[in-house]
Amino acid sequence: MKYVILTKKDLIAINQKFAEGYFENESSLDYALDMFKQNISWTKQLANLVRAILVDHVFTDGNKRTAYNVLLSYIEIKEYNIEEKKSLEIIKNIVLKNTNSIKKIQDMIENAITK
């Protein structure tokens, strides 16, 4: 399995596809990125990052589209698959239900991916 650490620069570049790439809550992003240095599962790392982007509104604009693209990209990097419909449902559920539980987000990701 590939070892990948996303950087702020990577995330800004993704956000700039949809918005200006300006931070609204940079400290939340820093915390989420620190999780990639921890010895925890990649799905938990990803859950922390998606949560930060969607719930803590890391960027001033484009957070949903950024989180969606990060989710798809990271799952692909890890050589897993996810149906577009399921990935959209994850983003939608987090936003509409204001899901802030890392465990719930991690479970949603793990239940949606396939090898």
Site of tokens 């990097």: 77
Q: What is the pLDDT of residues 58-78, one digit of tens each?
A: 999 999 999 999 999 999 989
* CA R_g for the chain: 13
Query: According to the model, what pLDDT value does residue 36 have?
Result: 87
Looking at the domain 8-114, which fold is it?
A: Four Helix Bundle (Hemerythrin (Met), subunit A) (1.20.120)
Tell me the percentage of the chain whose pLDDT exceeds 90.
86
Query: According to the model, what pLDDT value does residue 3 have?
Result: 57
Burial of 52 per CB tally in 10 Å (0-12, 13-18, 19+) = buried
Contact 46, 71 (CB under 8 A): yes
The pTM of the full predicted model, rounded to 2 decimals, is: 0.92
Q: What is the mean pLDDT of residues 30-41?
A: 91
Q: What is the mean pLDDT of residues 30-35?
A: 92
Whether residue 39 has pLDDT greater than 70: yes
Domain spans of the chain, in order of start: 8-114
Query: According to the model, what pLDDT value does residue 4 have?
Result: 60
Query: According to the model, what pLDDT value does residue 6 have?
Result: 79
Please name the helix (run of DSSP H) or strand (run of DSSP E) that holds residue 31, with its range, or none.
helix 26-34
Q: What is the pLDDT of residues 78-93, one digit of tens each?
A: 999 999 999 999 999 9
Q: Residue 1's pLDDT band (boundaries 50, 70, 90)?
A: very low
